[in-house]
Chains A and B, each alone.
Chain A
């Protein structure tokens, strides 16, 4: 049997792909958080709950309307994104100009309410969502066999991260967003409707979370806690990458997933803690995060 540092190669490959899959979710979720934090200055604690809503909306679309996975990948983010727009317009907007803490408490409260309502409705064990037919089964890469759905998640998340990055770095809309993140009043004084830009940005960040939720739906059960289990690691990702850094959250997300995977192979006992160890080290050496600009 082929081994690397005393571990079977296949085990290593298996954990690495699982790490990449987890990393894909960290990247997608922290990307949305970074965009929202950059422009709104709000630490969106509702992000995990909105991720979970994305999965439930996909389940609801299938169960009640017969709308399948591929359509849900587009429809569910739109539905949850619209919910985010309403949340921003009705609640978050009122906290403009106040300390971070208010936004954090408000969105945390929203998360508790959303998760509580969903638990009430669906119980803690949740519901099942089947892997779409075309993505069932194994994918033989020659050197390893990989569940096709995992490969798809990594590809879809990477594509979405790349598209978001291109939108922000290479388009006019993205330039306006970056400028407003630096100096919103001046951008508004040039004639840009910044309040609308803020609302749409929140909606888009939330839609990214919901997209991740749809990707996650067929992996385990769709349940009300799926967001809160994940969100703590995602916040660690954001801190490690550097608050508000777009590239930082993508690279850090995938990187942390891989590090977690490797730890599962070489030191399984430490796999739950390794992200936080990395976080502590990064905060000690680079308090602004790996990609953050020091304030």
Chain B
């Protein structure tokens, strides 16, 4: 892949003494939507956090646009053009919806402006003056996605954006992911729900016990169902 945006090789990560990631290898090309599937505790969140520089002890190689980021501080990784939408959403209670939206600094041109974001997520406009954590779960998720679309980061790491949300909201998030792909954003998406993943992604990595154990193209997904059921235990 010549247009490789993210290349992860032999990524290891620890929480204290627990060795969580044990050599993760994955690639994401510019403009792709790639998912990371796997059971609870497989290390998906830890992978995204390690790419973002949020895990204290990590080793191996993470290259973004050809530059090594494994030893960088998280703010410098963000400035290079990677943004995270965390699993717990990370909406700030002491900030209004609008302040939450405007919090992440713009790191590069090419992000979506506020009117465009309000078009994508009309609820955020209506409730822009509310306290961030007064929003419903679905609205908080939209806010968490919207605020990283503003920054101009080209690689978006989304950690289970559909978790615990009603089907209509899941559909809206699916539409959003397809829309941002069309605008040329690159997405690495953690999912438990591979039915949802199949509607948005180009490829799927499967993770078990802190390593990648398989890679499935979305076109081959139908033939790989048995294998996937085994991996995910569903």
CB < 8 Å neighbour of A185 from B74, B83, B93, B148: B74
Q: How large is the interface on B (under 10, 10 to 19, 20 to 34, 35 or more residues)?
A: 20 to 34
Q: Are B94 and A192 in contact (CB-based, < 8 A)?
A: no
Interface bits A192-203 vs B (CB < 8 Å: 1, else 0): 111000000000
The answer to whether A181 has its CB under 8 Å from any CB of chain B is yes
Interface bits A111-132 vs B (CB < 8 Å: 1, else 0): 0000000000000000000000
In the bound complex, how far is the Cα of B77 from the Cα of A192, in angstroms? 11
Q: Are A191 and B94 in contact (CB-based, < 8 A)?
A: no
The answer to whether B99 has its CB under 8 Å from any CB of chain A is yes
Q: Are B99 and A191 in contact (CB-based, < 8 A)?
A: no
Given A175-B102, A178-B94, answer yes or no on A186-B107 (Cβ-Cβ < 8 Å).
no
Q: Are B103 and A175 in contact (CB-based, < 8 A)?
A: yes
Q: Are A182 and B74 in contact (CB-based, < 8 A)?
A: no
From B2-10, B84-92, B172-180, the one touching the partner chain is B84-92
The answer to whether B122 has its CB under 8 Å from any CB of chain A is no
**Complex: chain B residue closest to A175, CB-CB:** B99
Among B52, B103, B148, chain A packs the most CB atoms within 10 A around the CB of B103
Given A191-B107, A191-B151, answer yes or no on A179-B75 (Cβ-Cβ < 8 Å).
no
The answer to whether B78 has its CB under 8 Å from any CB of chain A is yes
Interface bits B138-178 vs A (CB < 8 Å: 1, else 0): 00000000001001000000000000000000000000000
Q: Are B94 and A186 in contact (CB-based, < 8 A)?
A: no
Residues from chain A with a CB closer than 8 A to the CB of B90 are 183, 186
Among A172, A181, A187, A190, chain B packs the most CB atoms within 10 A around the CB of A190
Interface of B is mostly: loop
Interface of A is mostly: helix
How many residues on A have C-beta within 8 angstroms of the other chain's C-beta atoms?
18
Among A175, A176, A193, A194, chain B packs the most CB atoms within 10 A around the CB of A175
Given A189-B84, A191-B107, answer yes or no on A181-B52 (Cβ-Cβ < 8 Å).
no
Q: Are A190 and B151 in contact (CB-based, < 8 A)?
A: yes
In the bound complex, how far is the Cα of B105 from the Cα of A176, in angstroms? 10
In the bound complex, how far is the Cα of B102 from the Cα of A256, in angstroms? 37
Q: Which residues of B contact A (CB under 8 A)?
A: 52-54, 73-75, 77-79, 83-84, 86, 90, 92-95, 99, 102-105, 107, 148, 151
Top 8 A-B pairs, shortest CB-CB distance: A191-B78, A190-B104, A189-B74, A175-B99, A178-B94, A179-B92, A186-B90, A188-B75
Q: Which residues of A contact B (CB under 8 A)?
A: 172, 175-176, 178-179, 181-183, 185-194
List 5 A–B pairs whose Cβ atoms lie within 8 Å, in order of A's numbering: A189-B52, A189-B77, A191-B79, A192-B104, A193-B75
Query: 9 new A-B pairs (CB below 8 Å) besides A175-B99, A179-B94, A194-B75?
Result: A172-B99, A179-B99, A182-B94, A183-B92, A185-B74, A186-B86, A188-B73, A190-B78, A191-B75
